[in-house]
Amino acid sequence: MTHSTHPFDDALALAPGAPDHFKGRTTPGYWNMVGPYGGITAATLLQAVLRHPLLLGEPLSLTVNYAAAVEEGPFTVQATPVRTNRSTQHWMVTAEQVNAAGDPAVTTTATVITAARRETWGVSDIPMPAVPGPAECQQTSPMFPSEWFNRYEMRAISGEIPAQWDDSGHSSLTQLWLRDAPARALDFPALAAMCDVFYPRVWLRRARRVPAGTVSITSYFHAGSALLAQTGSGYLLAQARAQEFRNGFFDQSAQLWNEAGKLLATSHQIVYYKE
Amino acid sequence: MTHSTHPFDDALALAPGAPDHFKGRTTPGYWNMVGPYGGITAATLLQAVLRHPLLLGEPLSLTVNYAAAVEEGPFTVQATPVRTNRSTQHWMVTAEQVNAAGDPAVTTTATVITAARRETWGVSDIPMPAVPGPAECQQTSPMFPSEWFNRYEMRAISGEIPAQWDDSGHSSLTQLWLRDAPARALDFPALAAMCDVFYPRVWLRRARRVPAGTVSITSYFHAGSALLAQTGSGYLLAQARAQEFRNGFFDQSAQLWNEAGKLLATSHQIVYYKE
């Protein structure tokens, strides 16, 4: 990494190998507690599709399944276009690492759909909530000592991480302003990563910190590259809430708007929790 | 199909073949306009996982990507467990049909996560809406002549298919009571199929009928088999609304509760539309 390379681009560096194969490695810049930040893994798998010579269209849908913790070190991403239609292309993606026994083992799976966007009728059925602007919201100090938190500038609106773990929680809603730190022009991998930026809803809903981790995330991109370019390095309004907590798993719905009020992505995930 | 076989079970009949492979065929009972109902395809891919000898746990998450229309006739489902952990198992699934050139071609891809559910703290953050009971709601007559509509008893609460295509739409919310017709005890494949039961939101939001079709659906199962057994052949309250319509695609969020008010599944999809 040179001084001119953004940590995000450093993390997403992939070297083409055999057909459909790309070699990458974890970087310290997005390290979480026991592996890379899930958002950077999602972004990396999407990046393999975007780097593929047969790519048509732009990302529409991304599902990432976290099958195992990614260990520090190298990994291989395989991205295969399994079906190409006139306006959509379907991809299957896996990431593998060599395990302690010396065998390749799947750590992550994904499916991606890329598509051609067309001018059509359109409307938003979920307008951006009325909230104070980023300048009026205080910057959040890192919530816990995971390096990836330093890669985002977060300005809290509501639903900050509880100051006390006293079982007093009553809502699962978090709203914040968000951008890369240092600032970076928004692209699809960055947006994919940001969809996973929320700390576990179960911590907020219970005001209790329990082990939790994303099992699967699906993000739908409503923005095309022109809208991403318009958004540039501006703030996004990011909102997440849970729907159901039961038997060790909860789901989360999230929306991300740009500051001009355009909905860029909607995202959902299912999360493991303990106790 | 004998007189004692439910059309749903007939549609889901799979014959094991080579390891990880199952042979099925489309059935007239769930035919849509140009292929099988998307929900029956989702259920069939899930069924391959449930029939697999290496299965551990119960369905937690299901993503199905509709890569191409499924043609009338036979298909092969390949379901592969790519990673098995202590409490989760990750599956990659594809369906193929032989195309006009005599080559196998992918029609559908999926990822499935099965998991062990545990007793934990839990809460619902999206309580069932207060609506009239099924007996107070009138049964919907089939909306258009697709055979699969006859496989569901639907009782409209709100957001019925517009009676007139006059561009007068203003909401994308539909609520209905739902069960299999003929009645059938709920299981995971049936619940997966029901997650796709809503007619395209763009028709309702615009009061205009335009070409539309699901591109990808992700469903999270909050119910375990015990809760499904409690639900039996009772009605489910099914609710769906869109978030964003733009550039030829819209997304939809859905929730399905049983009549006792337990949230059984949440689901999201991204849908193609024209004009």
Residue-wise pLDDT for B224-275, tens only, equals 999 999 999 999 999 999 999 999 999 999 999 999 999 999 999 999 999 8
Contact A251 B266 (CB under 8 A): yes
Domain that holds residue A201: 7-116+133-273
- Res B3: pLDDT: 65
The string of pLDDT tens digits covering residues A215-248 is: 999 999 999 999 999 999 999 999 999 999 999 9
In Å, what is the CA distance from B271 to each residue of A46, A113, A166, B219?
Answer: 20, 12, 43, 15
Task: Nearest chain A residue to B242 by CA: give it.
Answer: A125
- Token pair 């991809």 is found at A91
What DSSP element (H or E) covers A10? helix A7-11
Regarding predicted confidence, which is higher, A25 or A99? A25
Indicate which CATH number applies to the domain containing A159: 2.40.160.210
Cis upstream peptide for B182 (omega within 30°): yes
C-beta neighbour count of A46 within 10 angstroms: 30
User: To the nearest whole percent, how much of chain A has pLDDT over 90?
Assistant: 95
Residue A121 domain flag? no
The predicted model gives A66-95 an average pLDDT of 97
DSSP letters along B109-177, please? EEEEEEE-------EESSPPP----GGGSPBPPPSSS-GGGGGEEEEEEE-PPPSS-SS------EEEE
**CA–CA separation, B274 and A122 (whole Å):** 11
Q: Is residue A126 part of a domain?
A: no
Q: Has residue B1 got a pLDDT over 70?
A: no
Is residue A142's pLDDT more than 80? no
Rounded to whole angstroms, how far apart are CA atoms A154 and A157? 9
Summarize pLDDT for B178-198 with one digit per residue, the tens: 999 999 999 999 999 999 999
What pLDDT score does B66 carry? 98
**pLDDT over threshold 80, residue B144:** no
Residue at A225: amino acid letter? S
Number of domains observed in the structure of chain A: 1
CA distance A162 to A204: 6
Number of CB atoms found within 10 A of residue B182's CB: 11
Q: What proportion of chain B, given as a percentage, has pLDDT over 70?
A: 99
Residue B256 lies in a domain: yes
A65, A67, A251 member nearest B220 (Cβ) = A251
pLDDT range class, residue B100, cuts 50, 70, 90: confident
Considering only CB atoms, which chain B residues are within 8 Å of A105?
A: 83
Prior bond of A16 cis (ω within 30°): no
Residue to mutate among B106, B209, B243, with most A CBs inside 10 A, is B243
Q: B62 has which bridge partners?
A: B112, B219
Is the pLDDT assigned to residue A58 strictly greater than 70? yes
Residue B128, domain member (yes or no): no
Nearest CA to CA, how far is B154 from chain A (Å)? 24
Q: What's the pLDDT at B6?
A: 97
Judge residue B176's burial from the number of C-beta atoms within 10 Å of its C-beta, 0-12 exposed, 13-18 middle, 19 or more buried. buried
**Sole residue written with tokens 């043609």:** B71
Q: What is the pTM of this model?
A: 0.97
Identify whether A163 is part of a domain: yes
Distance of CA A30 to the CA centre of its chain: 12
What's the pLDDT score for residue A2? 54
Compare all CA atoms of chain B with the CA of A125 and give the residue at the minimum distance.
B243
pLDDT of residue B141: 83
How far, in Å, CA of B265 to CA of B134, rounded?
Answer: 19
Mean pLDDT over residues B131-145, rounded?
90
Give the minimum alpha-carbon distance from B110 to chain A in angstroms, rounded to a whole number: 8
Contact pairs from chain A to chain B, CB under 8 Å:
210
Characterize A146-182 residue by residue with b for buried, 16 or more Cβ atoms within 10 angstroms of its Cβ, and e for exposed. bbbbebbbbbbbebbbbeeeeeebeebbbbbbbbbbe
- Integer Cα distance of A192 and A265 in angstroms: 8
Asked if the structure places residue A241 within a domain, the reply is yes
Question: A1 lies in a domain?
Answer: no
> What pLDDT was estimated at residue A44?
98
Q: Which residue of A has its CA nearest to B224?
A: A247
* Model ipTM value: 0.97
Which residue of A85, A110, A224 is in closest CB contact with B68? A85
**Average pLDDT of chain A to the nearest whole number:** 96
| Closest-CA distance of chain A to residue B16, Å | 23
**pLDDT confidence bin for A144, thresholds 50/70/90:** confident
In a domain, B208, yes or no: yes
Per-residue model confidence (pLDDT) at position A164: 93
